[in-house]
Amino acid sequence: MRMAGARRHTLRDIAATLNLSVNTVSRALSGKDGIGEETRARVRAEAERVGYVPNSMARSLVLGSAMTFGLAITNPSNPFYAQLISTIETRARSHGYSLLLTVTEESEEHEMRAAESLLRSSVSGSIVVPVQSGTEAWRRLGSVGVPTVLINRDLPDLGYRFVGTDNELGGYRATSHAIERGARSIVVLEEDLPITTIDHRIAGFRRAMAEAGLPVPRGSIMRVPTRRHEQAALPWQPQQAYQVARRMLRRTRLPDAVVAGNDYFALGLYRALEEHGLKVPDDMMVIGFGDHPFSAFLSPPLTTVRLPAEEIGTIAVDLLLEEISGTPIARPLKQLIAPTLVERGSTQRS
């Protein structure tokens, strides 16, 4: 590699060989008018010939914006975020924007650095999954005029635009579904992390139980110790959920259904149940969250709440685009997308 640096051609090079001014070449290539058709053709031909590629740095410097969106994600190995990355990159690119990705690993320290990095890079806008409740990192971005939309987890204090899943509704639907299928006693298995998504799901669970007149005794909410900080490059691990589930199975009265915070937890639960000789769904129903690609193929197939990753990513990019173009935005400041329940075998009693 390092091919003896065949230096990149610049506008000046083209101008020189064509005996034109840099300015003319610039305007010819950028499609502006006020230029002779013939000149334009000559410039284009020469640019093509030497393989001219504009220098974004220079362009950004003078324009003040880099035609780049920043994306701050906690963990790309979480399938939900992976799909978000994919959607956002594709949509951003289709509008001419590149994507600068920063991984925050659920650490507020990384988050600070990420925000600073995006600031340095003069991103035209940024899409952020905040780590937790800390607002400091992202406040700066907004205060220097970088349009910023939060996704998945809101930071209400900032007053930024937000697009996320209606987790309360998700929790409600999952729980109601279990109740409809005959569950009276339900346990929730959630990661032990102080973030709004989880709180909302639990709130939805409580609402469904209350509406059905069912009690929510102590121990109904079980927490799976988080390992995100140690294993930020990995998705959730079923292992911890498995262990928590085993603890649950030592109880004298077992629940009829378990609503898991994500499909990996459901997977850990499946094993614990199997080892315990319990059948899903006849002995216990299981509902997951996320509709991960494996879930439809588990045995039994997992009923789960599908999260609107694509929709969230698309809206986030569109919001940025609208804000940048100055279009008045009709959408609400906070936008919650309803997740859909995917009914499968794990709640289908025969």
Q: Which one of 135, 185, 226, 237 is in contact with a second copy (CB under 8 A)?
A: 237
Q: Which does 330 bind (CB under 5 to 8 A by kind): DNA, a second copy, none?
A: none
Q: Does 236 bind a second copy (CB under 8 A)?
A: yes
Do 124 and 148 touch, CB atoms closer than 8 A? no
Q: Which stretch binds a second copy (CB under 8 A): 128-136, 170-178, 182-190, 269-277?
A: 269-277
Show the binding pattern over residues 14-33: x = contacts a second copy (CB under 8 A), - = does not.
--------------------
Among 235, 261, 290, 308, interactor with a second copy by CB under 8 A: 235
**Should residue 330 be labelled a site residue for a second copy when binding is judged by CB under 8 A?**
no
* 206 touches a second copy by CB under 8 A: no
How near is the Cβ of 50 to DNA at its closest, in Å?
11
Is 82 among the residues that bind a second copy (CB under 8 A)?
yes
Q: What is the β-pairing status of strands 186-191 and 148-151?
A: unpaired
Nearer to a second copy, 50 or 210 (CB): 50
* Cβ atoms of 251 and 127 closer than 8 Å: no
Among 2, 218, 250, 253, binds a second copy (CB under 8 A): 2
Residue among 45 and 210 whose Cβ is closer to DNA: 45
Cβ proximity of 66 and 60 under 8 Å:
yes
Report the nearest approach of DNA to the CB of residue 122 (Å).
9
> What is the rounded CA–CA span in Å between residue 132 and residue 105?
11
Residue closer to a second copy by CB (options 202, 316) is 316
How many Cα atoms occupy the beta-carbon half-sphere of 253 within 13 Å? 8
| Strand ranges, E, within 39-180 | 68-73, 98-103, 125-128, 148-151, 161-165
* 314 makes contact with a second copy (CB under 8 A): no
| Cα dihedral: 134, 135, 140, 146 (round 10) | 120
At closest approach, how far in Å is the CB of 301 from a second copy? 9
> DSSP assignment of 228-295, as one string?
TTT-TTS---HHHHHHHHHHHTTSSS--SEEEESSHHHHHHHHHHHHHTTPPTTTT-EEEEES--TTG
86-105 residues near a second copy, rule: CB under 8 A? 86-87, 89-90, 93, 98-103, 105
The amino acid sitting at 13 is D
Structure tokens at 252: 């004298």
